[in-house]
Structure 1
Amino acid sequence: MFKLVVNEFNKYFNRLGTYIMLGIIVAFMILGVVLNMQFASSIDNKTYSDNWKSEVKEDVSKYQKRLAEIAKKPEDKKSMKEFTDEMTLGDRVAELQFYLKKDVQPPAKNNFYQTLIDTNGFISFVTIMLIIICSSLMSREHQQGTIKLLLIRPASRLKIFFSKFIFALLASLIFLVFTYVMTAIISFFTTKMNPTTELAVQGNKGYKMINVYELLGQQIFANFIYIITFAIVAYALSVIFKNTALSLGVTFALMFFGDLIIMFLQGKTKLIEFLWPANWNLSQYLPNNPAELADKDLSFGFSLTYDIVILIIITAVAAWIFNKRDVAN
């Protein structure tokens, strides 16, 4: 089994395409940094000294005064900067007041920990990369005619199936860790360091004070479940259909239209909690999630259990089909 998994790594991590995918991830990160630096204001990079309480109070007063001045102007007379200030300063005032209330020194708006947490918004892009890889894990063997060479090995069909399955899980973990590590490296040189590990995050019920490492741990776990969900689906479909384009298309359709279906059904039926798309993104339970749950009866434990059960069923069906399929032709 170990040699089969190593063989999969050799096949996919000796390909230029895999490193191009990793390079694209880094390129988009750098692009985000460049755009952020281009449009960042003095507010974004401002840090506070040891006398931070009085400085924060001064800023709150200054921002409130600025908002009051903007509010007096007619909508058609406001400049673009005034519209921007109106949208951002209100949130900044609420955030700073929350830090004062909790007696925690606020970081710069563009800070290291917040950038790491914002990596959550990048996970869908990473998932697409994994879908592209996993959609070809078995179908490529059929399309290139190497499936027969694979099956004449002394290893059983189930060992061959689960070696590729394990590779899909490990590749998902590698891409996820790579994304967070590269974010940390880039952010270390382009953002301000935080004065504490306490950070105010805005959820769907206002601001909360959290420990960054606890939130990051929860977030990385939720991201991993999300990524392997689609990696396993893509791999299972590549086994069932024996066609890369078909498994790729069906997985993408499930990924993109699943969330749209939940948005459409939200508030219209109580059965929404039993639909898989309502449960596969565990990030919805994190304290910094700004959106309301699709169903208030949903819980982290229920969704995690639901995901595991569905993935076990999908894997078992794909393994059974692969074990019984005749590949003589």
Structure 2
Amino acid sequence: MRKFNQLVLNEWLKISKKRSFIIPYALLVLMVFVIGYIVHTVAAADTYASAAEFTADSLLPTGIGQVLVILVIVGIAGIVSKEYSQGTIKFLLIRARSRTAILASKYVTVLLYSLSMLMAATIALFVSGMIFFGLSGGDAGINEILTSLLYSTVYCIVYATIGFMLGILTKSTGVTIGATIFATTIDKIIIYRDFYKYFLFPNLNLAAYKDGGAPMPGMTLNFSIVLLCIYMVLFLFAGFAVFRRRDVA
């Protein structure tokens, strides 16, 4: 376990030492404060009664969550593909570590990066909401914020896993970013046919089940959770299977 933790630490240091590492965080925080300012001054000062309401609503996948996914993908898209393009994959694989352990450490790093962005977004949203809307008022509280954070976490991690898999399969950072951004632009489209509920997209936004709703007739929260778990297993299986068998000579 200690050796695996060291692999994860090494991977985190790789991405954190890049000059561009701080850029997604900075863009995210800037965007949050711009949104807070615009809502407060242009829309209406009473749009949100408190920082908690602003945070809980904005954090959903239909809000800042969608932008957050794009920033996460841009940040981690090259974690595997750049090892191939820069030729460092050969040096990585000659170490006394299995390919599975190496790739698993990269995936854990992807998850940690995603969670760090989610936490940055949550803190920035609350501070922005505190400045523009205050702390008192409204019915929203910590439970609503945590619920929205959970919805956004599921949405973000699924997309991070898709980007991780695409980076392995295509060995291209550009394709990974482009394909994932395209997916985020069409994932809100609903095809009202019974077969479509088995696709990934209508199951991504679990917030649709709030207040007894559903993305499509006949869908339930448990149904979407099971479908997402199945897709995640398939994505990871495809990525690990290709990485373990690919010839890098």
TM-score, with length taken from structure 2: 0.90
1:11 and 2:14 matched: yes
SS in 1 for 2:188: helix
Q: Write the letter of the residue equivalent to 1:111.
A: S
CA distance in 2, matches of 1:172, 1:311: 16
Tell me if structure 2 keeps the 8 A contact 1:157–1:323.
yes
Would you say the 8 A contact 1:215–1:286 is kept in 2? Answer: no
Q: Which aligned pairs between 1:152-171 and structure 2 lie closer than 5 A?
A: 152-171=94-113
Match among 227, 243, 246 for residue 322 of structure 1 = 243
The correspondence for 1:274, drawn from 188, 198, 217, is 198
What percent of counterpart residues are identical?
Answer: 22
Structure 1 counterpart of 2:82, from 140, 144, 163: 140
- 1:31, CA displacement in angstroms? 1.3
The DSSP-based 3-state class of the residue aligned with 2:108 is helix
Of 100, 115, 119 in structure 2, the residue corresponding to residue 177 of structure 1 is 119
Query: Structure 1 residues 161 and 112, CA, compared in 2 at 3 Å: closer, same or farther?
Result: same
CA distance in 2, matches of 1:29, 1:12: 24
- Equivalent-residue separation in structure 2 for 1:126 and 1:10 (angstroms): 22
Tell whether 2:192 aligns with 1:253: no
The amino acid that maps onto 1:117 is A
Q: CA deviation at 1:304?
A: 1.1
The answer to whether the aligner puts 1:33 opposite 2:33 as a matched pair is no
SS at match of 1:16: coil
Once the two structures are superposed, residues 38-79 of structure 1 have per-residue CA deviations (whole angstroms, 9 ceiling, x without a partner) of 3365xx35xxxxxxxxxxxxxxxxxxxxxxxxxxxxxxxxxx
Give the deviation of 1:176 after TM superposition: 0.4
Is the Cα contact below 8 Å between 1:272 and 1:294 reproduced in 2? no
- Counting only pairs closer than 5 Å after superposition, residues 204-215 of structure 1 correspond to structure 2 as 212-215=141-144
Alignment check: 8 A CA contact 1:111 1:192 kept: yes
Give the 3 Å change call, closer, same or farther, for CA 33–155 of structure 1 in structure 2. Answer: same
- What is the DSSP-based 3-state SS (H/G/I as helix, E as strand, rest coil) of the residue aligned with 1:127? helix
TM-score (norm 1): 0.69
Q: Which residue number corresponds to residue 217 of structure 1?
A: 146
The structure with higher relative contact order (CA 8 Å, sep 6+) is 2
How many residue pairs match? The answer is 243
**Residue in structure 1 matched with residue 56 of structure 2 by the alignment:** 117
Higher CA-based Rg: 1
1:234 to 1:109, Cα distance in 2 relative to 1, 3 A: closer
Q: Secondary structure at the match of 1:297?
A: coil
User: 1:103-158: CA deviations, max 9, x gaps?
Assistant: xxxxx844222111122210100100111123211001000111011111111100
Q: Aligned pair 1:310/2:222, yes or no?
A: no
CA distance in 1, matches of 2:36, 2:199: 37
Is residue 239 from structure 1 mapped to residue 168 from structure 2 by the alignment? yes
CA distance in 2, matches of 1:22, 1:246: 23
Checking the alignment, whether the CA contact within 8 Å between 1:218 and 1:286 is kept in structure 2 is: no
Distance 1:246 1:214, change over 3 A: same
Listed as ranges, the gaps of 5+ residues in structure 2 are none
Separation (CA, whole Å) in 2 of partners of 1:228 and 1:295: 22
Deviations 1:270-310 (A, max 9, x none): 112111111011121123x9xx6331211111111110111
CA distance in structure 2 between the aligned counterparts of 1:195 and 1:34, rounded to whole angstroms: 19
In 1, are the aligned partners of 2:50 and 2:137 still within 8 Å (CA)?
Answer: no
Distance change >3 Å, CA 109–CA 161, structure 1 → 2: closer
User: Which stretch of structure 1 is more off in the superposition, 214-223 or 251-260?
Assistant: 251-260
Give the one of 186, 192, 200 matched to 2:134. Answer: 192
Q: In the superposition, relative to structure 1, how do residues 147 and 117 fare at CA in structure 2: closer, same or farther (>3 Å)? A: same
Separation in 2 of the partners of 1:134 and 1:18?
10
Contact 2:40–2:133 (CA<8 Å) still a contact in 1?
A: no
Distance 1:310 1:37, change over 3 A: closer
- Superposition CA RMSD, Å: 1.9
Call closer, same or farther: CA 1:195–1:324 in 2, change over 3 Å: same
Q: CA deviation digits over 1:240-261, x for unaligned, max 9?
A: 111111222222222222333x
Partner residue, 2:71: 129
Alignment gaps of 5+ in structure 1: 46-107, 200-211
The list of structure 1 runs, each at least 4 consecutive aligned residues, that deviate by more than 6 angstroms after superposition, is: none
